[in-house]
Amino acid sequence: MEEWQLQMQNQIDTIEELEKIINVSPEEREAIENTKVKWGTTPYFASLMDRDDPKCPIRQQVLPSKYEQQNEYGIENYLVYKENRAGDEDRPDTIARQYEDRIAFTVVNTCGIYCRHCFRKELVVDKSLKLRFDIDEGLEWIKEHSEVREVLVTGGDPLLLPDDQIEYIIRKIREIPHIEMIRFGSRLPIILPHRITKGLQKVLGEYHKVPIWLNTQCNHAKEITEKTAKAVWDLLSCGVNVGNQAVLLKGINDDVKSFQELHQMLLNIRIRPYYLFYLEPAPGIDHFRTPIEKGAELIRDAIRGHTSGLAQPMYVIATNIGKIPLMPDYYIKHKGKKEYILENHRGETTSLPNIPE
């Protein structure tokens, strides 16, 4: 058995195992004892937890909280609503569609950790949404839809599938003539970097006309280690481009210092920040929710002009009608008939003529 499989087999999902790693607080203990839904993490990711601080960003993302029982802003049956699963178009369970030219192909409902802020909780954490994971049925649907250029392979975490199944999915997608690219969404480079084995590199690698892109999810610099850096390097070396989709989380990355550090560290290990997501309106995650403006303010105060431009993600909210950018015009101080007044990160202003059509 490979190291990553051992890590999955030895998931930390009981108080007894957790106590060997951290000093569990009374609140954490109570929430764990009362939770009715799945929780757990790889031993590797657990080892990054602060032993004593319950506010540790890793602890907060992994350990249940009593606030999960509350819900003010979340929409029940969120995923069915968000992915238009009750809509008009007849699609296999594995296919989620919001755009004309690309679709999400959900191939598995397990994950390496069970993020407390997950917006796909119904599918992944409490498993109340049961999907039929018929890969061939999904592939057949994609084959019949020649307008689809790109397939996003997602889950759960698709890289938890065995190498031969991943190889099968990639090969079958590449046999479809209208598919121009494949994108994987996987948190494993962060929470289980051991998964990027020689075997997996072989499956993902080698030159091919249809490229593979991968987006991972990293929300705090504390999640990044030497092992992460090596896993990303291994992915890049076999031709897989790596991006990040962070989630804006109250108390974890919604301050200027953590936010800047996260995005600088991502670049240091060669991950290009892609999206910053506003927390979606799924139920039971209000305790992670910030005002909508927060993400744009953080980009203004921590990134733009303050550090490498490559560190800047696009701030978006994923909705039932697609992703919508949330970047207010903070930099436009005044828009006149003749000119714009623009402000930079130091508060200095400059002007630019307003050009008529």
Ligand X SMILES: *Cc1c(COP(=O)(O)O)cnc(C)c1O
Using CB under 6 A, pick the residue from 22, 58, 63, 118 that binds ligand SF4: 118
Shortest Å, Cβ 30 to ligand X: 35
Taking CA atoms, 148 is separated from 88, 92, 151, 180, in Å, by 18, 15, 8, 9
Interface with ligand SF4, residue 300, by CB under 6 A: no
Q: Which does 152 bind (CB under 5 to 8 A by kind): ligand SF4, ligand X, none?
A: ligand X
Q: Which does 187 bind (CB under 5 to 8 A by kind): ligand X, ligand SF4, none?
A: ligand SF4
Residue 81 sits in the site that holds ligand X (CB under 6 A) = no
Contact call for residue 120 and ligand SF4 (CB under 6 A): yes
Selected binder of ligand X within 104, 188, 252, 279 (CB under 6 A): 104
Instruction: Select the binding partner of residue 174 from ligand SF4, ligand X, none (C-beta < 5 to 8 A, by kind).
Output: none
Return the exposure string of 268-291: e unless at least 16 CB atoms fall within 10 Å of the residue's CB, then b.
ebebebbbbbbbbbbbbbbbbbbe
161 binds ligand SF4 (CB under 6 A): no
Confirm or reject binding of residue 149 to ligand X (CB under 6 A). no
Q: How far is the CB of 157 from ligand SF4 (least distance, A)?
A: 6
Identify residues 306-325 at the interface with ligand X (CB under 6 A): 318, 323
For ligand SF4, which residue of 78, 114, 278, 288 counts as binding (CB under 6 A)?
Answer: 114
Q: Does 98 bind ligand X (CB under 6 A)?
A: yes
- The span from the CA of 230 to the CA of 227, in Å, is 5
Among 12, 22, 124, 311, binds ligand SF4 (CB under 6 A): 124
Rule CB under 6 A: say whether 111 interacts with ligand SF4. yes
99 binds ligand X (CB under 6 A): yes
Closest CB to ligand SF4 among residues 48, 118: 118
173 forms part of the interface with ligand X (CB under 6 A): no
Q: Measure the CA–CA gap between 251 and 259, rounded to whole angstroms.
A: 11
- Answer yes or no whether residue 157 interacts with ligand SF4 by CB under 6 A: yes
Considering only 18, 63, 96, 200, the residue that binds ligand X (CB under 6 A) is 96
Min. distance of Cβ 257 from ligand SF4 in angstroms? 24
The verdict on 102 binding ligand X (CB under 6 A) reads: yes
Is position 249 an interface residue for ligand SF4 (rule: CB under 6 A)?
A: no
In angstroms, the CA 348 to CA 291 distance is 27
- From the list ligand X, ligand SF4, none, pick the one residue 99 interacts with, judged by a Cβ distance below 5 to 8 Å according to partner type: ligand X
How far are the Cα atoms of 24, 115, 134 from residue 19, in angstroms, in the given order? 6, 19, 39
Of 111 and 271, which CB lies nearer to ligand SF4 in the complex structure?
111
Instruction: Examine residue 115 and tell whether it contacts ligand SF4 (CB under 6 A).
Output: yes
28 interacts with ligand SF4 by CB under 6 A: no
Which residues in 201-260 contact ligand X (CB under 6 A)? none
Residues making contact with ligand X (CB under 6 A): 96-99, 102-104, 152, 318, 323
Residues making contact with ligand SF4 (CB under 6 A): 111, 114-115, 118, 120, 124, 156-157, 187
